[in-house]
Structure 1
Amino acid sequence: MIREIDLNDNAQVLDLLMLQQLSYRVEAQLIGFKEIPPLWDSPKSLKESGELFFGYYEGHRMAGSVSVKQTPKELTICRMMVHPDFFRRGIASRLLEYAESLAVPGMLLKVSTGTKNEPAVNLYGKYGYKPGQTMEIAKGITLTVFTKRVPQSDNR
């Protein structure tokens, strides 16, 4: 089940922070960079992020989360995370599909990840995202921005 996370509910925010810590530590190991910004978040910084967060729940346990920011022209997937206990169960795919469902036809979708984060790179490729800009964030560490456009509906 996927539902919006209430950032004014301290229990939900603490669950989200724990998930984020566990998930992004794995990415930090994959890309060889321990300074990933989500590892330094606090309840306050999450609330001030301007992002909408959605959690994927198995029973009462938050197994994954995705966050987005939307403008009239694009939807940016800001964070995608899955609890390590729930890896390889299709949760990231379901979260990505959910995030995409928030966009309107013709809208640009954008997401970035560590270039060396093979599981994420493969996931975005599987869903039709094309790699674009690569940015060096530290010596030898790069992020790749992936984009895709939501197809226009046939009902014109």
Structure 2
Amino acid sequence: MKLPVIRPVDMDNLQELLPLLELQQQAYRIEAELVGFEEIPPLLDSPQELRESGESFFGYYEDEKLLGAISCKQSARELTICRMMVHPDRFRQGIAGALLRHVEAIAIPGCAIAVATGTTNTPAVALYEKHGFMASRMQLIAPGITMTHFIKLAEP
């Protein structure tokens, strides 16, 4: 077995895009169950919507198999983590942490790094807190359903 690799996902290559979409469906179905909200936007994405999202996607691969992915958008002042997904069979094995560290390493030094997750998605909340993110605000997205927004400064 080769060492895991984190690399950009080629969004123009269906052999990379379709496994990403499948992984997103698997991971976000679990989040939908955790937060009690079936209309999580990533569950509704098509391959074209992913390709046109304007996000940079990075995949965590073991032996060329996609086991996790993260996407982000970088502006002058903030890097926003848009999606985080890990194959359900590989939860709690360090993949999400490795993806977070990868994105933090490419952020503009000193800029804010922002991410949001369902408030009741306790594994994701614990992950972000473990990596130094601080809750900055809560947002009501549907009756009884909130998202918690987190922020952290990139290392200078």
**Where on the TM-score scale, by shorter chain, does this alignment land: which range?**
over 0.9
Tell me how far 1:104 sits from its aligned partner.
2.0
Of the three residues 74, 82, 105, the one matched with 2:109 is 105
Give aligned-pair identity as a percent.
54
Of 9, 22, 25, the residue aligned with 1:21 is 25
- Under a length normalisation based on structure 2, what TM-score does the superposition of the two structures give? 0.96
Query: Which aligned pairs between 1:108-123 and structure 2 lie closer than 5 A?
Result: 108-123=112-127
Stretches of structure 1 that go unaligned for 5 or more consecutive residues are: none
1:151 aligns with 2:155: yes
> Which digits, 9 at most, give the CA deviation of each residue in 1:37-81, with x for residues without a partner?
000001110011000000001112100000000001110000000
Q: Which residue number in structure 2 is paired with residue 10 of structure 1?
A: 14
Unpaired segments of 5 or more residues in structure 2?
Answer: none
Question: Matched residue of 1:69: which SS?
Answer: strand
Counterpart amino acid of residue 3 in structure 1: R
- 2-structure distance, mates of 1:88, 1:151: 25
Aligned partner of 1:92: which letter? A
Shift of 1:117: 0.4
Give the Å deviation of 1:151.
3.0
Poorly superposed stretches of 4+, deviation over 4 Å: none
Q: CA deviation at 1:11?
A: 1.4
TM-score when scaled to structure 1?
0.96
What amino acid maps onto 1:144 in structure 2?
Answer: T
CA distance in structure 2 between the aligned counterparts of 1:104 and 1:46, rounded to whole angstroms: 24
Distance 1:88 1:113 in 2: 17
Q: Does 1:126 align with 2:126?
A: no
The CA distance in 1 between the partners of 2:10 and 2:23, in whole Å, is 15
